[in-house]
Structure 1
Amino acid sequence: MFKPRFLALMLAGSILPAAPAFAQDAEVPYWASIRAPEVNMRAGPGEDYRISWVYRRPQLPIKVLRLKEGWRLVQDPDGAQGWMLARFLTRQRGGYITGKGTADMRESGEAGAKLLWRLEPGVTGLLGDCQNGWCAFSVGERKGFVEQARIWGAGEP
């Protein structure tokens, strides 16, 4: 028969190896964005896997779904999933304009605020803080606020 102290040590030893894997999984999902001018999405987590897509869109928001060593299982705004090397991603939040027709970029986060620009669907930019349904958004030197509902990459992943 096992003594209680020995049984407790065996139980602790069997749980500890799983802790790092659990800690990795606790971080996902999260938002990231593409940092490089060109990034490959692959069918699996390794350079031997075929390339599914080539992205040439810095600041494109990506939803990170899983972690595996230096690779990330990601989803793009169109729903495509695949693996990217983590070094080509950044935690700096990007945004992607969605929906039909242009999205208004306004001077402040209110529907009646001065209209600054109209953004076509597919425009990417840097995402700032979101409050009351509006997000700070910048495209190059142009800065303003866009309705959160029009931005993929805003809100919870």
Structure 2
Amino acid sequence: MIGTMKGWVAAAALALAVSGGVDAAQAAQERGAVTNLPIPRFVSMKASEGNVRRGPSLTHRIDWVYKRRDMPLEVTAEYGHWRRVRDRDGAGGWVHYSLLSGVRTVLVEQDMLELHSRPEDKAPVVAKLALGVIARLGECETDWCELTAGGYSGWAVKRAMWGVDPAELRE
């Protein structure tokens, strides 16, 4: 019965998407078994240090330690209190959920990324961010996102950062 119900719900979501009720990608998006939040999704490191383990328990070996607070990470799976994450380089492992935050951040991937006063190429530049800077993510339009870093706030082109989906829109 449960398998039949899941199949029916998936079919209904797909039918709604095809009929124009919701975006097809949104209807097909996987949900976490623990949180029911979208998988994959972006989060950030809440702690200044976090062990990355081979598996979802304290008995699994620590492969490395993340040492940057606010670093954006992508959650790719959930198991109990554990989240499998990956970073910008594709490296990942299991991290305890208490080390993660829903606060959205991005990693600047373009040196001297210009922050504009408005989401337009010709808008005045208010600051420039160095390669590797972690910025807080605000509103996102189709090609632009609002960022805050080092006391500055402005709009940058979405393709120059990691930690936001290219199709993601945020208010």
Normalised TM-score (structure 1): 0.79
Structure 1 counterpart of 2:70: 59
CA distance in 1, matches of 2:32, 2:135: 33
Structure 1 counterpart of 2:59: 48
- Three-state SS of the structure 1 residue aligned to 2:90 is coil
Structure 1 counterpart of 2:41: 30
- Three-state SS of the structure 1 residue aligned to 2:48 is coil
Deviation readout 1:123-152 (Å, 9 max, x if unpaired): 101101111411010114221111100111
Structure 2 counterpart of 1:147: 157
Aligned counterpart for 2:140 among listed residues 115, 124, 130:
130
Structure 2 counterpart of 1:110: 120
CA distance in 1, matches of 2:163, 2:119: 17
Q: Is the 8 A contact 1:60 1:125 kept in 2?
A: no
- Three-state SS of the structure 2 residue aligned to 1:122 is coil
Identity of aligned residues (%): 30
CA distance in 2, matches of 1:68, 1:104: 39
Please, which runs of 5 or more residues in structure 1 have no aligned partner?
1-10
CA distance in 1, matches of 2:67, 2:126: 27
Q: 1:23 to 1:41 in 2, by over 3 A?
A: closer
After TM superposition, give the deviation of residue 63 of structure 1 in Å: 0.5
Larger relative contact order (C-alpha < 8 A, sep ≥ 6)? Answer: 1
CA distance in 2, matches of 1:150, 1:38: 26
Please, which runs of 5 or more residues in structure 2 have no aligned partner?
7-30
CA distance in 2, matches of 1:121, 1:40: 25
Q: Quick check: 1:77 aligned with 2:88?
A: yes
CA distance in 1, matches of 2:72, 2:104: 7
Letter in 1 for 2:60: Y
Structure 1 counterpart of 2:27: none
Q: Is the 8 A contact 1:102 1:118 kept in 2?
A: yes
After TM superposition, give the deviation of residue 87 of structure 1 in Å: 0.7
CA distance in 1, matches of 2:4, 2:144: 48
Q: Which runs of 4+ in 1 moved over 2 A?
A: 11-16, 21-27
Normalised TM-score (structure 2): 0.73
Q: Is the 8 A contact 2:34 2:80 kept in 1?
A: no
Letter in 1 for 2:132: G
Structure 1 counterpart of 2:129: 119
Let me know the Cα RMSD of the aligned residues. 2.5
Deviation readout 1:69-93 (Å, 9 max, x if unpaired): 0000001011101010111111111
Letter in 2 for 1:154: V
